[in-house]
Structure 1
C-alpha cells in the first residue's frame, strides 16, 4: 500500500525575541505586533547563507524541532526524492506560497502549483515564514492540514550592483549564480533585479547527471512612502536522471549501489538482456531483478510563473493588498519499462504475449506528460482600530491539469540507439496508455481579528471558508494493460467554517505561555493513474465502488506551550495533538503473476483517522558573546486508528506508527561567531521509522552531522 499523509504584517512596534533555535549571528526569529505568536517562526537569510549555495531552504528548515527533511542528493534539489515532514504531516499536507502566491502541493508532478525549488532560486529567498501545527487561515492553500510555509523573496537593492557566486563540489557538482540589481532608477524609487542560476551534478551512484537552470526577476515601484506595486517572474528548466527506487530486500542483499543502467557502459545492451532474464551476476540475490534496474528513469519540466502585486495604504489604518498571478508547466517523466511481454524471453515478443503492440520490443519507454495551466488572484484588506488588528480576504484560482501516459517504441537489438529520454519523442510510434483531463475552480475566504487588550496579551480569532470543485473528463485507456479510467465525474469540497483560535500571554518578564486551536481541510488531490491518493485517478469501476464513502480530509490541531528567553538562556516546550480524519489511502493490489507494473488494480478509499500526540523541547545557552549551544528533542506518537479492509483483505494497521516519520528526533548545534568568521558543528538523530503500514519492517535509525566554517 502507498499513500499520503506556512501572516506576517509589518508593524512599527514589533518586538523581536530570539527563540531556542537561534544563537548570536543566526537569523531565526519570531515576530508579531507587540508580542510574538509562538507558533510562527521566521527562518532568515543569514541562516540559509551558512549552507552550501543553492541548498534547498527546506533543508535548512530541518534544523527546527519537529521537522524532518530528506533527499537523495546533498543539496536537496532532486524533486523526485525530496520529502519534508513537520509535526507528523508530510509536505503535500503543508500549505506553501511565494510572496503570498499559492504554490499548491509541493510534490513530484505537482498538479496544482509549483515546487518552491522551481519557483525561486535559494539566493533570492529573504526568509521563510513558517506556521507550525495549527494553520494560518490567511494562507491561500487547500492542503494546509499541518501548517504553512511562505517564501519571501528579496527586494531589489537600493544601490546598483551585482553578485557572482561559483561553487564546486564532489561528483562534478557546480553551482553558478549571477544577479544584477539596478538600484533606484529615478526619484520615485523604481528598481529591479534579474538573476540566473545554473546547477549541475553527477549522481553519486549509477550514471547520468541532475541539471537545473533558472531565471528570476523582480520589479518594485514605490508609490509614495507607504505603498508599492511589484512584479515577480520565474522561468526554470529541470532535467534530472532519477535514482532507482529502493526496497529493503535490495538493501539487505546488495547494499546501496544498485541503480539504473543509463549513463553506464553498455547500458542499453545490459538493460535489454535483463528484460530477457539475463541479469548481471551482482543481481543474483535480488528477489525481483527485473525491477532492480531499468534502462532509464528521468524527469524533465519547465515553468513560466509570475505575478503582480499592489500593496496600497488606503489610509493610515486601512491597507489593501492584491495579487494576480499565472503559471504554466510542461514536461515529462520517463522510465524504460521492461514489461512489454508477459512471459516470453524471445525478442521480438510473440504477439500473444505482447501487451503494447508496437514493434514487439521487450522494452518500451513509458512517458508521462503532465501539463499545468492555472491563473488566479489573492486580495485582502487589513484595518487597525483601537486594540484590534482586523483583516479579511479572498482567493480564487482556475487550474487545468492533464495527465497523459504514453508507450513509445524503443528499437529492437541491432536496429539503432535507444531513445533520448530528454528528447521530444516527435515522430516516434506511440500508444496512449491512459489519459485524464482535470479542471478545478477554487474559492477561499477568511476573516480574522487579533485583539490586544493589554500589551502583554494577544487573543486571536478567525475562520476560513473553502469551496473547491474538480471535474475529470476525457478519460482514455489502452485496454490490454489498463482499465477504463474514471471520466465525467466531479468532487466538491465545501467547508464554510474552519475556525482558528489562539492566545499569547507574556505573564512575567521573559516568560510566555500560549495555545493555538484550528481546523483545516484538504481538498481532493489529483494525479496520474496509480500515483497517489487521488480518488478519481483510478478506474471507473474502482471509483464507483467507493465514491459514496469519500469525504475531504480534515484535521483538528490543539497546541500549547511555554517559552522563556533572556540573554543567557532561551528555552521552550511545545505540545500538540492532532486528530486527522477521513484519511484517503491508495491501495494497490497485484492481480496476477509478475510485477506491480503490469498486473495492478488501484483504489482510493476512506480509511479512517490518525491520532498524533507530540512534544518538542529545546534550549539554547549563550554563555559568551558569539558562542551558542543548542539542543532539542522531539517526540511524536502518530498512529492509525483503524485497520484497513480492501478487496476482502484486512490490513492490521491499527495502533501502528505512521510510515516514514520517526517517533524521536534529537538535534544539537554548537556555533561560535567572531567578527565575520563563523564556525559550527551540528548533528541530527532520527529514530527508526516504519517502512510499511502494518509495521513489519523498520528503517534503521541514523545520525547526520555537519561541520562548517565561513
Structure 2
C-alpha cells in the first residue's frame, strides 16, 4: 500500500499541475507557444552562437525513429556545449534497438562506454551494469528531466534505474557528459560524468502509437501511447503510455515480467515559459539469472541456472543443500561434479521485484528577456525485494535451506531551483538542490518446506516474488539522509568563436543510521552499523572549460573539474558503503574514512563536414580514496570488507570517424584506450594474518583497456538496414589481476521497412500516419561471453562467483502503427 505521505504528495502535485491551464493567461495573438521538444532555456540565449553540428538537424527521409522525436544523427562527432562536454544520443539511436530495451544500451554507440546485461533488453537490473571511461554506474550522475536518479546500485537508496523511471520509447534524448560532468546536475555521485535523460514533450496533434514486438523465449512486448493534442489556445497538452514486457528466461526456468505507466503534461505560459508534470509507475517481477564464476564458465557449460521451473527443481536443490551441509540424502548433479564449488552453482530460486512511483512538477519561467527561473519539485517511493534460496541457514522445520529476502524501501522528496541571467557576453547560472531520503534496509529468512511435504502436495516452496509466510528478521537498518548542493557558473564568450566556462559547486551530505534488528547467526557479529552518522562536506569543487572554433568545421576544447561522490548508503553486506559493515568496523573507520574524489582533465578536437566527422578525445583522471567492496566466501552471505584501495591514475583516449560517402550510407568506427591502474598496494588482516596484495600498477577491475566499435547503416527508399559490432578487451575480475574475463566480439543487426505507402495504396485510406516493420538479431554470431561483473563484489585474488553470462543469439520482430 502507498503510504499516506506519498499519496498526499501525488494528489497535490497532480492537482497543481492540472490547475495551471485554468490559472494562467491565454497566450496573446501573435505569440508562438513553445514547439514540441523545444528547450526554453536555450531560447533565452539565442543571441549566443552555440556550436551545433550541421547534421544535428537533418532528419532521415525514411525512418521509424522520425515518429518518436526530431531525428539527429548520433555518432562519435556528437555535440559539446561551451560550458561542458556533452554528446546527445537521441530517440533515433534508441529506435535501432529492440523496443523496450534499456536506454543505457543505446549509449554503447559512444566510444569509452560499456553496457552489460544478462538479458538482451537489459531490463533485469540485477544482471546489468554501465561503465564509462573507467567509472561504474555508481560513480556516474543520472537525472531525468532534472530529477535525480541516484547512484544506480541494485539496492539504490536514493533513486532508481532509468528503465524503471521511464519507458525507453518516451525518451527524446540523453545528454552524455564524459569525464567531468556538469555542476548543475542533481547528483552526488558524478565522479565520472553525467547522463541526463530528457522525456519527449506531448505532441500538438492528437494521435497514438502502438508497438507490438515478439521474440525469442516467448518474448512479448507491448507499448501504447496516446497524445491529447492541444486542449486550448495556449497549447496545453499531455500524453499517457502503457508498456508491458514479458519473456521467458533464455536459460533455466520461469520468466521476467515488467509493466510501466508514464504520463506527461505540458502547459505553455506565454511565449517563452512552461509548466510540466511527469509521472511514472513501474512494476517489475523477474527471476534472476544465476551468478557465475570463471570455473563455472570454463567447466560447467553455458546453461547452469537456478532450478525453479525445471523438472524436479525443488528436489534437486534440496538434495544439493543436504550435500553441502553433510546431511543424509544429499546429492550433487552429475553436471556439477567437475566444478570447484558445486554447492553454490545453482539455488532453487533467485528473484527480484520492485514497485516504483516517481514524478515531479517543473516550472521553467522567463521572468524577463534576460532572466529565467527553473524549479522542480519531485517525489519518489520505492519497494524492492531480492530473494535467494540459501543453504547457509536451515529452516526451523529442518529443511536444509531458507528463502532469504533483501527488502530495501525508499521515500525521498526534493527540490531543485536555479536562475539564469544573460548579460552582454555572459550567461550566469546558479542554483540549489535539496533532498531528504529515508531508506530502510531489511533482510528476512522464510522457512522452506520439507521435501516430503512438497512431493506429497501438502506444501509448496516459498515464492520469492510473493512472500506471505512468517519469517525471521536477519537484520534491519534505517537511514536518514539530507543533501544540499549549491552551484554557480558563468559561460563567457569574448569573441563569437571562443567560449570560456568557470563554475563551482558546494556539497553537504549527512546520513544517520540506526540498527533495528540483528540476528547473530546470520550477521556473525554482536552489532551492525548504527547509532551514528557520517558527513561529506566539500565547499568548493571547481570546473573550468573552454572551446575554440576555427576554420570551417574545426573545433578544439578542454575541460577540467574536481568532483566528489558522497559516502554511499547500503545495508549490511550489500554494497561498497561504510554503513554495510559491523558496528566495530564502522566505529573504527568513522574518523578516517574519506569520500571518493577526483580531478578530471580532458582535451579534444573535432571536425565536421558533409561527408566526414572526426573526433579525438584525451583524458587524464587522478582518482583518490577509491572505496571498493571486497568479498570472499559464499555469495549468499559473503565476508565483505569495504576497503579504500587508494588512488587510481587513469589515462585514456577515444578516436572516432564517421563517413557518409553516398546518400543513405553511413559508416562509423571508433577505438578507446583506457590505462587505469591502482597506485597503491592493499594490506588486509585475514584469518591467515596480515596480507599485502600487490595491486599497484594493475588495471582496475571490470573495465577493459581496449575497446573497438563499428556501425554501418544504409537507407534506400522505404527500407533501412543497420549493423553494429563491438570488441571488448580482457577485464580483471580480481584486484591483483590473476583472474581475468576473456575478451569478446558482439555483433547485432536489424532491418526496417516503412509500409505506410503500401498499406495506403492497398486500402485506399490514410487512417494510419505510419506503419513500419522491424526485425532485429542480437548476438548474431552466437558468442558465449561474460557480460556484467562484480554484482557480488570483487575478490582481491582468485576466482569469485560474481559475473553474469551474456545472452546467446536472439531474434525479435515488431510492428509499429502511428495514428
Smaller-chain TM-score range?
over 0.9
Secondary structure of the 1:524 match is coil
Deviation at 1:16, TM superposition (A): 2.1
Secondary structure of the 1:185 match is coil
Change beyond 3 A, Cα 1:520–1:671: same
Question: What residue in structure 1 maps to residue 794 of structure 2?
Answer: none
Question: Aligned to 2:272, which of 223, 226, 243?
Answer: 226
Once structures 1 and 2 are overlaid, which stretch shifts more, 392-401 or 285-294? 285-294
Question: Aligned to 1:524, which of 561, 567, 579?
Answer: 567
Does the CA-based 8 Å contact 2:79-2:87 persist in structure 1?
Answer: no
Question: Aligned to 1:553, which of 585, 596, 600?
Answer: 596
Does the CA-based 8 Å contact 2:53-2:79 persist in structure 1?
Answer: no
Change beyond 3 A, Cα 1:557–1:145: same
Question: Aligned to 2:403, which of 365, 368, 392?
Answer: 365
Deviation at 1:596, TM superposition (A): 5.8
Query: Quick check: 1:434 aligned with 2:487?
Result: no
Does the CA-based 8 Å contact 2:272-2:365 persist in structure 1?
Answer: yes
Question: Aligned to 1:305, which of 352, 358, 361?
Answer: 358
Question: What residue in structure 2 maps to residue 444 of structure 1?
Answer: 485
Question: What residue in structure 1 maps to residue 388 of structure 2?
Answer: 335
Does the CA-based 8 Å contact 1:327-1:375 persist in structure 2?
Answer: yes
Deviation at 1:589, TM superposition (A): 4.9
Deviation at 1:606, TM superposition (A): 2.2
Report the structure, 1 or 2, having the larger strand content.
1
Query: Quick check: 1:10 aligned with 2:42?
Result: yes
Question: Aligned to 1:178, which of 187, 202, 224?
Answer: 224
Higher relative contact order (CA 8 A, sep 6+): 2
Query: Quick check: 1:466 aligned with 2:517?
Result: no
Query: Quick check: 1:408 aligned with 2:446?
Result: yes
Once structures 1 and 2 are overlaid, which stretch shifts more, 474-483 or 498-507? 474-483
The two structures have a TM-score, normalised by structure 2, of: 0.81
State the alpha-carbon separation in 2 of the partners of residues 363 and 284 from structure 1.
21
State the alpha-carbon separation in 2 of the partners of residues 465 and 259 from structure 1.
47
Question: What residue in structure 2 maps to residue 392 of structure 1?
Answer: 430
Query: Quick check: 1:247 aligned with 2:285?
Result: no
1:111-170, Cα deviation, whole Å (9 max, x unpaired):
111111000001000000111111200000000000001110001111111111100001
State the alpha-carbon separation in 1 of the partners of residues 347 and 170 from structure 2.
37
Deviation at 1:32, TM superposition (A): 7.6
Report the structure, 1 or 2, having the larger helix content.
2
Deviation at 1:581, TM superposition (A): 0.3
Equivalences for residues 562-573 of structure 1 within 5 A: 562-573=605-616
Question: What residue in structure 2 maps to residue 127 of structure 1?
Answer: 173
Does the CA-based 8 Å contact 1:15-1:31 persist in structure 2?
Answer: no
Deviation at 1:384, TM superposition (A): 0.8
Deviation at 1:36, TM superposition (A): 5.4
1:505-561, Cα deviation, whole Å (9 max, x unpaired):
012222111110001000011112112110011101111232232001001000001
Question: What residue in structure 2 maps to residue 509 of structure 1?
Answer: 552
Question: Aligned to 1:169, which of 186, 191, 215?
Answer: 215
Question: Aligned to 2:729, which of 653, 667, 687?
Answer: 687
State the alpha-carbon separation in 1 of the partners of residues 118 and 252 from structure 2.
13
1:201-247, Cα deviation, whole Å (9 max, x unpaired):
11110011111000001111111111111100000100010000100
State the alpha-carbon separation in 1 of the partners of residues 194 and 541 from structure 2.
15
Question: What residue in structure 1 maps to residue 129 of structure 2?
Answer: 83
Query: Quick check: 1:217 aligned with 2:294?
Result: no
Does the CA-based 8 Å contact 2:83-2:501 persist in structure 1?
Answer: no
Does the CA-based 8 Å contact 1:543-1:603 persist in structure 2?
Answer: no
Question: What residue in structure 2 maps to residue 314 of structure 1?
Answer: 367
State the alpha-carbon separation in 1 of the partners of residues 695 and 437 from structure 2.
35
Question: Aligned to 1:640, which of 678, 700, 704?
Answer: 678
1:625-652, Cα deviation, whole Å (9 max, x unpaired):
2212111110000011111111122121
Question: What residue in structure 2 maps to residue 323 of structure 1?
Answer: 376
The two structures have a TM-score, normalised by structure 1, of: 0.93
State the alpha-carbon separation in 2 of the partners of residues 580 and 195 from structure 1.
42
Does the CA-based 8 Å contact 2:82-2:545 persist in structure 1?
Answer: no
Secondary structure of the 2:126 match is coil
Change beyond 3 A, Cα 1:675–1:454: farther
Deviation at 1:8, TM superposition (A): 9.8
Consecutive unaligned residues in structure 2, runs of 5 or more: 1-38, 61-70, 324-330, 454-458, 753-819
State the alpha-carbon separation in 2 of the partners of residues 487 and 397 from structure 1.
22
Change beyond 3 A, Cα 1:23–1:60: farther
Change beyond 3 A, Cα 1:506–1:670: same
Secondary structure of the 1:272 match is helix
After superposition, the CA RMSD in angstroms is 1.9
Question: Aligned to 1:602, which of 622, 636, 640?
Answer: 640
Deviation at 1:687, TM superposition (A): 1.0
Question: What residue in structure 1 maps to residue 182 of structure 2?
Answer: 136
Does the CA-based 8 Å contact 1:23-1:627 persist in structure 2?
Answer: no
Does the CA-based 8 Å contact 2:529-2:580 persist in structure 1?
Answer: yes
1:634-693, Cα deviation, whole Å (9 max, x unpaired):
000001111111112212111110111111111111222234432222211111111111
Query: Quick check: 1:42 aligned with 2:88?
Result: yes
Secondary structure of the 1:62 match is helix
Question: What residue in structure 1 maps to residue 746 of structure 2?
Answer: 704
State the alpha-carbon separation in 1 of the partners of residues 623 and 163 from structure 2.
28
State the alpha-carbon separation in 2 of the partners of residues 380 and 41 from structure 1.
23
Secondary structure of the 1:549 match is coil
State the alpha-carbon separation in 1 of the partners of residues 50 and 566 from structure 2.
35
Question: What residue in structure 2 maps to residue 492 of structure 1?
Answer: 535
Question: What residue in structure 1 maps to residue 655 of structure 2?
Answer: 617
Question: Aligned to 1:296, which of 349, 361, 364?
Answer: 349
Question: What residue in structure 1 maps to residue 153 of structure 2?
Answer: 107
Secondary structure of the 1:340 match is coil
Question: What residue in structure 2 maps to residue 582 of structure 1?
Answer: 625
Secondary structure of the 1:65 match is coil
State the alpha-carbon separation in 2 of the partners of residues 272 and 670 from structure 1.
50
Aligned residues: 680
Question: What residue in structure 2 maps to residue 347 of structure 1?
Answer: none
State the alpha-carbon separation in 1 of the partners of residues 253 and 609 from structure 2.
52
Deviation at 1:23, TM superposition (A): 11
Does the CA-based 8 Å contact 1:23-1:629 persist in structure 2?
Answer: no
Deviation at 1:268, TM superposition (A): 0.9
State the alpha-carbon separation in 1 of the partners of residues 741 and 55 from structure 2.
32
State the alpha-carbon separation in 2 of the partners of residues 650 and 579 from structure 1.
23
State the alpha-carbon separation in 2 of the partners of residues 42 and 457 from structure 1.
21
Question: Aligned to 2:696, which of 635, 654, 658?
Answer: 654
Change beyond 3 A, Cα 1:19–1:542: farther
1:569-617, Cα deviation, whole Å (9 max, x unpaired):
2111100000110111223355xxxx4645x543323221111100001
Question: Aligned to 1:668, which of 710, 725, 745?
Answer: 710
State the alpha-carbon separation in 2 of the partners of residues 249 and 589 from structure 1.
15
Secondary structure of the 1:578 match is strand
Question: Aligned to 1:160, which of 206, 226, 231?
Answer: 206
Secondary structure of the 1:276 match is helix
